[in-house]
Amino acid sequence: MIVNWIELIQLFIGFFVANVLGYGGGPASIPLIYNEVEKYAWSTPTEFSNIIALGNALPGPISTKIAAYIGYDVAGIVGSIIALIATIVPSIIALIVMLKFLQKYRESKVVKGISLLVQPVIAMLMLVLTWQMAANSIGDIGWLQTIIIALVALWAMQKKKIHPAFVVLAAFIYGGFLLPYF
C-alpha cells in the first residue's frame, strides 16, 4: 500500500481532535469520532454502527478499537498506528496535567462544577448518536425489528444483568443467521 501523507495527517488530526474534546472517556468520544468519520468519509453510518457493535463485544477501550479499525481501513498498518497514537496521546497528556491540577484544587467548587456540568453535554452527544444509529437501523431493518431488538437488549442488560458483550454477540448471531430470512 502506498502511503498517502494527506490521509495519514487527516487520520491524526481527526482522532486527535475527537479524543482531545472527548471528555468522559471512550463512550463520550464516540459521537466526536463519528463526526470526524463523516467529515472525511472514512465509513458509512451503517459500517460505523457495526464497528461500534464489534468494538463493544471486544475487551478494552472502545475509542482505541475504533481508531485501530478505521486507521487500518483508511491507510493499512501505518494508518492504524497513526490513529492509535492520535487517540492515546491526548489521554496521556491530559491525565498527567489533570491529575496534578486535581490534586492541587480537588476541594474547589469550580473543579466540582466542571465535572457536574459537562455531564448533560455528554449525555446529549450520546443521545444524538443514538438517534442517528436508530434511524439507520430503522432504514435497514424496519421499525418492528429495531424496536424488538432494542427492547430485548434493554431487558437483557437492565433486568437480567447480562453483560453488553453477550447482548452484542446475540445480536450478531440474530443478524447473521436469522434476520436474512425475515
Question: For residue 62, is it within any domain?
Answer: yes
Q: d(Cα 159, Cα 153) in Å, to the nearest integer? A: 10
Which residues, other chains included, contact 85 with Cβ-Cβ below 8 Å and sequence gap of 6+?
Answer: 12
Q: Which one is predicted more confidently, 89 or 94?
A: 89
Question: For residue 134, is it within any domain?
Answer: no
Question: For residue 84, is it within any domain?
Answer: yes
Question: For residue 59, is it within any domain?
Answer: yes
3-class secondary structure, 124 = helix
Question: For residue 128, is it within any domain?
Answer: no
How far does CA 115 lie from the centroid of its chain? Answer: 21
Could you tell me if 19 and 90 are in contact, meaning their C-beta atoms sit under 8 angstroms apart?
Answer: yes
What global pTM score does this model have? 0.62
Reported as a single tens digit per residue, the pLDDT across 31-48 is 999 999 999 999 999 899
Question: For residue 46, is it within any domain?
Answer: yes
Evaluate if residue 152 carries a pLDDT over 60.
yes
Q: Domain of 65?
A: 5-108
| Domains of the chain: total | 1
Question: For residue 87, is it within any domain?
Answer: yes
Question: For cell 463485544, what's the residue?
Answer: 57
Question: For residue 141, is it within any domain?
Answer: no
Which residues, other chains included, contact 7 with Cβ-Cβ below 8 Å and sequence gap of 6+?
Answer: 74, 75, 79
